[in-house]
Amino acid sequence: MTTTHPEAEAPLASIVPAVMLLVAGLSTASLSGALLKLMSSELNIAMMTAGRYTGYLLVLMPLALWKYGGQVFAPPQWSAQFARAVLILGATLTFVYAVMFLPLANVVSLLYIYPFLVAALSPWVLGERGGPAVWFGVAGGFAGVLIVMRPDLGALNAGTWAALATGVFYALHIMLTRKVANAAPALVSNTFMALVALALILPFAISWWQPVTARQALILLVMGAVNAGAHLLLSNAFKRASAPALAPVTYAGLVAATVWGLLFFADVPDGVTVTGMVLIAGSGIMVAQSSKIGRAIARRRGASAGG
C-alpha cells in the first residue's frame, strides 16, 4: 500500500498557475521596493511609509470589511497581532532607509537573511528542529550574505546594517505569524497589521510633513496598491500549490529586484554580488526543501505578504 505525503508535489498542470502567480507576486513586491527607492530622495521615511500603507489599505480594506466585517479591527490574539504590526513596520522603515544607500538588488539579497534566522532560531522559539541539510543551508546562506556585504567593518555603510535589520525584523515577524497562523484569516491579519502600522507612523508623518506634489502622492498610493496586489497574488499562489513545490521559485524575488534596479536606476550587480545572490538562493532552497521549518517559512511568506 502506497501513502502520499500531504505536501507531495502536485501535478504539473496545477503547479504552473501557482508558479505564475508567485512570480507575478514577487515581481510586483519588488516593484513596490523600487518605487520606495525612487521616492527616497524626495520624501522622508515617515511620509513614504505612511503613503505606502495608505495605498495598501485602499485596496485591501474594502475587501476585508466585505468578507469579515468588524473582525478586521479586533482580530483574535490581538496583542500578538499588534506585535506583528510593530515588527513589519520596523522592517518597512529599515528597508526604506537601506535603499537610500544601496542598490535595490543588494538590499533584497541582504534581507534574505531571514529564512536562515528563522531556521536557526526555530528550535528555541517554535520548538521545531531541522536536520543536517538545514544547517548546511543556513551556513551557506550566511556565507552568501557575507559575499554580498564584502564586510570591511570600517567601510560598511548604514544601508548595509539597515538591510540586515530588515531581515531580522522580518524573521521575527515570520515566527510570530507562525504562532498566530490559525487565529484569523490572512486577509484579516494583514489588514489589521497595516492599520496598526499606519496608526503608529502617522504622527511622525504629520510632524515631519513636507509638501507633496500630485505626482508624489500618486506614486505613494500606487506603491501601496502594488504591495497589496503582491499580497493577493502570493496568497493565491500558496493556496494552489504546496510550499515545498514553490520554494525554489521564491528566490525569483532576487531576480526581480535586479531587473527593477537595472530599469529604474541602471544598477548592474557585479560578479561577486551575483555569486552571493546565487549562494543565498541555493542555500534557501536547501533549507525550504529539507524540513518542516523550511516548509513553514515558505508557507508563511504567502501569509505574510502584506509588509
pLDDT at 135: 62
Q: Mean pLDDT for each consecutive 10-residue tract of the chain (307 residues)? A: 41 66 84 88 92 91 92 90 93 91 83 74 60 64 68 63 90 78 81 94 94 91 88 75 61 78 81 76 66 51 52
Instruction: Determine the Cα–Cα distance for residues 241 and 200; give it in Å rounded to an integer.
Output: 35
d(CA 296, CA 280): 18
Residue 180 CB: number of other CB atoms within 10 A?
A: 19
**Contact at 8 Å (CB) between 269 and 106?**
yes
Q: Which residues make Cβ contacts (< 8 Å) with residue 177, sequence separation at least 6?
A: 84, 189, 300, 303, 304
Q: Which residues contact 207 (CB under 8 A, 6 or more apart)?
A: 46
Question: Exposed/middle/buried for 46, CB within 10 Å: 0-12, 13-18, 19+?
Answer: buried
Distance CA(195)–CA(188), nearest Å, equals 11
Tell me what pLDDT residue 10 has: 46
What pLDDT is attached to residue 205? Answer: 94
Instruction: Please provide the distance, in angstroms rounded to a whole number, between the alpha carbons at the two ends of the chain.
Output: 45
Type of residue at 194:
A
Buried (b) or exposed (e) across 100-110, using 16+ Cβ within 10 A?
bbbbbbbbbbb
Chain position carrying cell 533584497: 108
3-state SS class at 283: helix
Q: Please give the Cα distance from 293 to 119 (Å, whole number).
A: 6
